[in-house]
Amino acid sequence: MKRVAVVATEKEYAEFLRKNIEKYMSRYAAFVDYSINEVENMGAIEEEFVLVSAFNIFQQVRAKISEQSEIIVLSLSLGKVQMESLREIPGGTRALLVNFDNRSCMHTITCLYAAGLRDLELYPYYGEGDYDRSIKIAITPNEAHLVPEGIERVYNVGESSVDMNCLYNIADKLGVYEEFAANEANEARKEYYDLNSSIDRLLNDKASMTDKLNTLLKLMNEGIIITDMTGNIYLTNEKANHLLSERSRILVGFHIEDVLPELDVDSTKERLIKTSSANLIASSVEVRSGEEVAGHIITVTDFEEAEAKQHGMRSKLSETSQMARYHFDDILGESPVILRTVENARQLAASDAAVLITGESGTGKEMFAQSIHNGSSRRKYNFVAVNCAAIPENLLESEMFGYEEGSFTGARKGGKMGFFELAHRGTIFLDEIGELPLPLQSKLLRVLEEKKVMRVGGAKNIDIDVRIISATNKDLFIMAERGEFREDLYYRLNVLPLEIPPLRERRTDILTIFHALSESMNAHMRLSPDAAKALQNYSWRGNVRELRNVTEFLASKGKKYIEKEDLPPLRRSFREDIFAGNSGGGDRSRAAEMNRVETGDELHSDGTSALIDKFILNEGREIELYFRVLEALAGFWEKGQRCGRQKLMEQLDLAGGYYTEGEIRKALAKLSSYGFVRSAKGRGGSSVNGDGLRLLAVLKGYREKGFFG
């Protein structure tokens, strides 16, 4: 015979419940009752079935219940005999329903109304608070000590018993449902009301409907909990059981307020439920039967899962891939400088602070940015790359922060999310950040500080959680000093700096990268000693990007063995040519000369500085234009004058240098970005400074040696 344990707070009440159940089910199982104290002193509850009368009791004894035991939660109600004494109360009478808490009061009121006593006006009272003193009648289930003074008549209906629905449930768990329904159930109905509050009743007693509902719930990704009109949980799916397993091994039978005390089932507002293993979102909607609330449907969602789904949908809505392809293992090279840089980047990935990557064009700044993202805790979410120089200035704000429908001519119907929304929970990579216009820099700073964006044409802030990685080949510090970049934004972006070395500072990696690129192109090329030496001695102003171009050029030839003559023309810079000429073919390598860098304004022996070296290496193609502009500005400087573009163009024309206004504007901007020229706002004109005069002196030396002009 199957063994069943009945557990209640006190021994006396446990015995009452046991006898109540045994009266109809003794021939199907052996029942034993325990109080909480008895269970606490036991090793374990050994019975195959455990009946508990409340959630708090289950919580106290759950450690003593075997994993193999079936747990059944008792639902209680008043019997017909207990109700009879109340029928003498005249219809329309106002009475207090007295119980030990509000929920128990409401449960008893529901039982009374379900039993047909709907013409009584019942008001819950649980031993505290004020009440209408004109009420002189109280009804209570064995809680008469809580009845307030001034009540003239008390109806004590006694302890609640196990209701009919619960007896059916126990019979079903024991596997004797049909036998019980044919025999003892008829006797039980004479004593108990068959409450009309469960979901199968709401579905018009169609048993197949409950089966269909169970099947539907299993297919849903959200956790679903269905309660009856009293708040007791009637049906759940596996997802809900899994999400709330920390709180209870079972949910059915317990009251929703016990399992989710944070949730107000009468409100449709979502609530955040925190457990030790997950953050959950719960919400509730009413189930109505006619004009009455017959229960609630509660949905429970894992916040992280919901975010992950939203992340995927954002990528689809953007119609572009927002995945980071590169990892640290994809960065080639064994030189000490690149190994040190990769190790620094790995350390930065563990943080969530902003990263500013600096380095010359073509050094692989985006590859490092993607690797940092893939090495971080945000790797599951979007990596959104934005080239601040590639998007027209008039579109940059709407692309960056999104826009609402109708906010401007040509705006997409329904609006569009911006890059920051798309990168929520992930990383946004702002490449060429130095090209960002000043007005947009202010808005970017506000977004970073407040972690909110407002779409163009919108009226509400949208919360965002993104990590910023920015990159530039400019010196943002110098730009900030000249007012070309916001200083506060510079410090906000430059929390974790990372400098990528140029290829000429890691010459031992050149051949390694070449062969790796060759293999990826399925070219499988080998280099002759002279060809390999030529590649290693080249300055690679375009860095890895230029090396890739050279590799593609050689692969297009279809040769497996590359001679020096097969190499494309490798253009050297003016600075490199000067070093080559000064070396006179001696033992000192050009690489050693090129890597010679001083700090601050300290000069090399030939009058150059690190800044001048960098300028000539990067901008040597237009060196004659820069020389003529500096020469003209120096003439005005000697007179103590500033010079506007028109005046400067006239001066250059007189000197025999015919340049367009656009060329002059570009030259002034470039010289200003390096700090050789100061350009005032508006019509203030431009003037050369000390660094610019030193650069002019170096360029004069180059010109005398015949390198240009």
H-type alpha helices, 473-528 = 476-481, 487-493, 510-520
Coil, strand or helix at 233: strand
Same domain, 466 and 453: yes
Is the residue at 580 inside a domain? Answer: no
Same domain, 335 and 446: yes
Same domain, 347 and 268: no
Q: Residue 621 and residue 545: Cα distance in Å, rounded?
A: 18
Is the residue at 512 inside a domain? Answer: yes
Cα angle for residues 703, 705, 707 (degrees, 5° grid): 60
Is the residue at 581 inside a domain? Answer: no
How many C-alpha atoms does 69 have within 13 Å on its Cβ side?
A: 24
Same domain, 360 and 223: no
| Predicted pLDDT at 336 | 93
For the four alpha carbons of 281, 287, 292 and 295, in that order, the dihedral sign comes to negative
DSSP per position, 195-230: -S-SHHHHTTT-HHHHHHHHHHHHH-SSEEEEE-TT
Q: Residue 246 and residue 279: Cα distance in Å, rounded?
A: 12
| Predicted pLDDT at 214 | 67
Domain boundary among 499, 521, 543: 499
What is the CATH number for 438?
3.40.50.300
Residue 75's alpha-carbon distances to 16, 166, 234, 643, in angstroms, are 14, 6, 11, 93
Number of domains in the chain: 6
Q: Residue 26 and residue 19: Cα distance in Å, rounded?
A: 9
Same domain, 51 and 167: yes
The helix (run of H) or strand (run of E) holding residue 303 is helix 303-318
Q: Residue 677 and residue 421: Cα distance in Å, rounded?
A: 40
Q: Residue 321 and residue 493: Cα distance in Å, rounded?
A: 25
Domain boundary among 571, 602, 620: 571
| Predicted pLDDT at 134 | 94
Same domain, 334 and 421: yes
Is the residue at 577 inside a domain? Answer: no
Same domain, 115 and 210: no
pLDDT in tens, 209-245: 556 566 667 667 789 999 988 888 888 888 899 899 8
pLDDT in tens, 581-610: 443 333 333 333 333 332 233 444 444 567
Cα angle for residues 651, 655, 656 (degrees, 5° grid): 120
Asked if 471 and 429 count as a contact pair (C-beta separation under 8 A), the reply is yes
Same domain, 434 and 485: yes
563's tokens:
């001679």
441's tokens:
């820099």
Is the residue at 337 inside a domain? Answer: yes
Tokens 């015995």 correspond to what residue?
15
pLDDT < 50 stretches in the chain? 196-207, 318-319, 574-575, 577-607
**Angle separating helix axes 610-619 and 623-638, nearest 10 degrees:** 130
Asked if 82 and 56 count as a contact pair (C-beta separation under 8 A), the reply is no
242's tokens:
């899994």
What is the CATH number for 677?
1.10.10.10
Q: Residue 76 and residue 162: Cα distance in Å, rounded?
A: 4
Whole-angstrom distance between the N-terminal and C-terminal Cα of the chain? 110
H-type alpha helices, 32-183 = 36-40, 55-61, 80-84, 102-114, 164-174, 177-182
What is the CATH number for 298?
3.30.450.20
How does strand 355-358 pair with strand 467-472? parallel
Assessment of whether the complete model's pTM goes beyond 0.75: no
What is the CATH number for 540?
1.10.8.60
Same domain, 490 and 525: no
Domain span at 411: 320-499
Domain boundary among 499, 514, 532: 499
| Predicted pLDDT at 376 | 95
| Predicted pLDDT at 554 | 93
Same domain, 422 and 527: no
Is the residue at 468 inside a domain? Answer: yes
What is the CATH number for 89?
3.40.50
How does strand 49-52 pair with strand 2-8? parallel
Instruction: For residue 504, give the amino acid letter.
Output: R
Same domain, 112 and 224: no
Is the residue at 54 inside a domain? Answer: yes
Q: Residue 599 and residue 597: Cα distance in Å, rounded?
A: 7
Same domain, 132 and 281: no
Is the residue at 42 inside a domain? Answer: yes
Q: Length of the chain, please? A: 709
What is the CATH number for 180?
3.40.50.2300
